[in-house]
């Protein structure tokens, strides 16, 4: 039987105690029927992962003692996708889940001129990220930024690798061709109505490189996931051959 993975808001340290609260405690106590002495794994979403043993249980929390602790190194590159939330929120939430499973570092819901959805429930989005992190047995929780306007994001980013998923002229290079393996990347993915001409001009002025993601026309959430998978594959291959 596999050992379940839980999340704590506290930073894990060796030979200390930690507390599982609210939903995490409920899952351990009511769903899995865990009891004193049971073993579980805990992550703080910051790369730290502990093997712990339950010391005490109550109706609202679960106290566990850390027995061993390891730190999972972050990837050598960071991937940040800024993506316009879809009109059908289920599709955006699907993107959040699958991108987390693939190991994305940062996600920004992007508010564009042609956006059909102009609000998101951040608490619900974070729960989806957390669930996907645990399901995929990871120790790094993606950073979810607040809903941000297109103009603000493109003018204040500090990413050197800046890409705009846009096929306006049909002459854009493929992302896999222009992206240098091992480098941080920020990719902008627009709404179903695409970016406006003004937004494209602003992004180009801020040194964003227009790219395509293949010959097919993709939905917003599919484009985001395709880019995430593509850059993962490029970097995995590079690391394999370097090792």
pLDDT at 6 over 80: yes
Task: Give CA–CA dist 126/130, Å, rounded.
Answer: 6
Q: pLDDT digit string (tens) for 90-108?
A: 999 999 999 999 999 999 9
**DSSP structural state of residue 46:** B
**DSSP structural state of residue 185:** E
- How is the chain split into domains, by residue range? 5-71, 79-242
pLDDT at 54 over 60: yes
Percentage of the chain lying above the pLDDT 90 cut: 86
User: Mean pLDDT throughout 41-64?
Assistant: 94
CB atoms < 10 A from the CB of 134, how many? 21
Confidence class for position 238, pLDDT limits 50, 70, 90: confident
CB atoms < 10 A from the CB of 169, how many? 9
pLDDT at 243 over 60: no
User: Mean pLDDT throughout 27-54?
Assistant: 95
Confidence class for position 60, pLDDT limits 50, 70, 90: confident
Q: pLDDT digit string (tens) for 113-156?
A: 999 999 999 999 999 999 999 999 999 999 999 999 999 999 99
pLDDT for residue 147? 98
Task: Name which CATH class applies to 5-71.
Answer: mainly beta
Domains 5-71 and 79-242 share a fold: no
In the predicted model, what is the mean pLDDT of the chain? 94
User: Mean pLDDT throughout 173-187?
Assistant: 96
Residue 160 CA neighbour count, 13 Å, CB half: 7
Using alpha carbons, list the distances in angstroms from residue 134 to 5, 51, 70, 156, 187.
6, 14, 16, 32, 25
Task: Give CA–CA dist 54/39, Å, rounded.
Answer: 6
Percentage of the chain lying above the pLDDT 70 cut: 98
Window from 34-38, 59-63, 161-165, 172-176 with minimum mean pLDDT: 59-63
pLDDT for residue 1? 60
**DSSP tally for the chain: helices H, then strands E:** 7, 13
Partner residues linked to 64 by β-bridges: 18, 54
**DSSP structural state of residue 65:** E
Chain centre to alpha carbon of residue 222? 15
CB atoms < 10 A from the CB of 226, how many? 18
Confidence class for position 214, pLDDT limits 50, 70, 90: very high
- Token look-up 């690391």 returns 239
Using alpha carbons, list the distances in angstroms from residue 36 to 45, 132, 197, 212, 221.
24, 27, 61, 54, 43
Q: Which homologous superfamily does the CATH classification assign to the domain defined by 79-242?
A: SPOUT methyltransferase, trefoil knot domain (3.40.1280.10)
pLDDT for residue 2? 83
Chain centre to alpha carbon of residue 128? 10
């Amino acid at each position: 039987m596999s050992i379940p993975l839980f999340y704590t808001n506290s930073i894990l340290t060796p030979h200390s105690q930690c507390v599982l609260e609210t939903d995490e405690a409920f899952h351990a106590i009511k769903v899995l029927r865990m009891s004193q002495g049971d073993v579980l794994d805990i992550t703080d979403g910051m790369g730290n992962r502990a093997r712990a043993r339950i010391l005490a249980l109550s109706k609202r929390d679960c106290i566990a003692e850390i027995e061993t602790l390891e730190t999972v190194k972050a990837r050598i590159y960071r991937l940040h996708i800024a993506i316009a939330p879809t009109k059908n929120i289920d599709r955006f939430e699907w993107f959040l889940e699958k991108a987390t499973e693939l190991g994305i570092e940062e996600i920004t819901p992007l508010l564009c001129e042609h956006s059909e959805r102009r609000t998101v429930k951040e608490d619900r989005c974070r729960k989806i990220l957390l669930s996907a992190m645990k399901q995929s047995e990871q120790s790094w929780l993606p950073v979810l930024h607040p809903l941000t306007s297109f103009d603000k994001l493109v003018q204040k980013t500090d990413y050197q690798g800046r890409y705009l998923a846009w096929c306006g002229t049909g002459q854009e290079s493929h992302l896999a061709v222009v992206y240098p393996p091992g480098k941080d990347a920020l990719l902008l993915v627009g709404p179903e109505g695409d970016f406006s001409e003004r937004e494209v001009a602003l992004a180009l002025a801020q040194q964003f490189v227009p790219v395509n993601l293949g010959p097919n026309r993709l939905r917003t959430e599919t484009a985001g996931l395709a880019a995430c998978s593509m850059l993962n594959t490029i970097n995995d291959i590079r690391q394999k051959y370097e090792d």
